[in-house]
Amino acid sequence: MAQRIRASRSNNSFNFRLSPVARGVALTLASTAAVPLYAADSNTIEEIVVTATKRAESIQDVPLAITALSGEFTKQVNLNDVKDLVSFTPGVSGNSQDSFIDAISIRGVRTQDFGVGGDPSAAFFKNDLYEGRNGAVVTSLYDMERSEILRGPQGFLFGRNSIGGAFSVYTHKAELDDRVSGYLDLDGGERGHIVGEGAVNIPVSDEFAMRLAGYVSQEDGFVHNFYNGKDLIEHDKKAVRLSTVYQNDNLTVHATAETEHRKQSGSVYRAIQEGDIWDTFVAAIGPVTIQGGPQDVDLDQSGGDADDSTINTFGLHVDYDFGFATRTSHTGYKDHDYYYSEDYDGTPLSLSNYQQDQEGDYFQQELRLTSDTDSALSWYG
């Protein structure tokens, strides 16, 4: 039989699955830390504004089961991509090291189909653009404004494929400040561990500004493959995003263009020499050497595991304020090229290999009219 290796490394230490007790403690801490409740410079409660109902409103007024995570919190706890949000969302479970989302379960609802045409049970959105299939969903979290995770069916507001819930992430938009601003964060460690994130906001005029953000994450593999001498669970991720804003009295236009390339190992498996199945297998084909002890992070695997994707995204968001309501037009286009392979028998023999090669193009156009939140009757259409 084969065992999936789920170890991950941070700088100079290995992190493995937590015990049930440890997970319970971590979840308790996460539920209190997920959303900052108090302003940093006063004792007043800071209002948390979300757009889960297609309008900006306080999270206390949203009649939905929702968890909101700020961009600053996302950076502090080192959440790297959208699947990492699972760790800080009650009622949501499942994660993996690859780009598949079939393992994510919201209130026990999950899809078992990880094929090219499989429909997920949870919808994923980035800046209101639907992320679509495996290979196009898992993108890096950098220069983030906030994340919103809704639990329970969301078909009315988010359409199909949201029977379990919806994940919505929002990046920082260009801002009409009075000066140029930006930041740069760098992190390094052993085994070629390098993470860099930065952004610069440039106001061009009183009505137009642009923002350029970038991200890079690299790390050498730490699972040694005795079969070919290579290391697995390495990754190389690079992304860049350009956003602009134009704003006058009634009109606001946000445009975004982003590209990301992700190259990493697929899921890694190690065969375990135990049980009747293994004895039958050895009796049929002869001895098979499996290197390493039970606690060693190494294996003897023949497959050239890969999890490579290139994702390009373009978005145009237009709001026009009529006074009594706001007309919104959201246009989006995404294309992706994705290849995945894994050798899940965990032996140096080609017994059970899986491959998936896909390309996708998505176009989205949404028009909506939303009432003024100050009116006595709130409506949406």
pLDDT at 118: 67
Q: What is the mean pLDDT of residues 276-288?
A: 66
pLDDT of 139 above 90 = no
Backbone angles phi, psi at 228, to 5 degrees: -125, 5
CB 110 within 8 A of CB 121: yes
Q: How many residues comprise the chain? A: 381
pLDDT computed for residue 96 by the predictor: 60
Mean pLDDT of 346-354: 70
pLDDT at 218: 93
Average pLDDT score over residue span 78-106: 77
Give residues with Cβ within 8 angstroms of 258, minimum separation 6: 239, 240, 241, 242, 311, 312, 313, 314
pLDDT digits 0-9 by tens, 197-247: 999 999 999 999 999 999 999 988 877 777 777 777 888 999 999 999 999
Q: What is the pLDDT of residues 245-280, one digit of tens each?
A: 999 999 999 999 999 998 887 777 766 655 666 667
Q: What is the largest CA-CA distance in the chain?
A: 79
Residue 43's pLDDT band (boundaries 50, 70, 90)? very low
> Cα–Cα distance between 145 and 74 in angstroms, integer?
9
Domains of the chain: 2-171 (2.170.130.10), 181-371 (no CATH)
Dump pLDDT digits (tens) for 178-200: 899 999 999 998 888 899 999 99
DSSP string over 251-302? EEEEEEEEEEEEEE---EEEE---HHHHHHHHHHH------S-TT-SEE---
pLDDT of residue 300: 62
> Does 278 or 139 have the greater pLDDT score?
139
pLDDT number for residue 58: 79
- Cα–Cα distance measured from residue 317 to residue 322, given in angstroms and rounded to the nearest whole number: 16
d(CA 290, CA 169): 43
Average pLDDT value over all residues in the chain: 77
More confident of the two residues 173 and 308: 173
pLDDT score for 133: 67
Q: How far apart are CA 310 and CA 312, in angstroms?
A: 7
Q: What is the pLDDT of residue 347?
A: 67
What is d(CA 115, CA 97) in angstroms, rounded to the nearest whole number? 17
Residue with tokens 């026990």: 108
What proportion of the chain, given as a percentage, has pLDDT over 90? 26
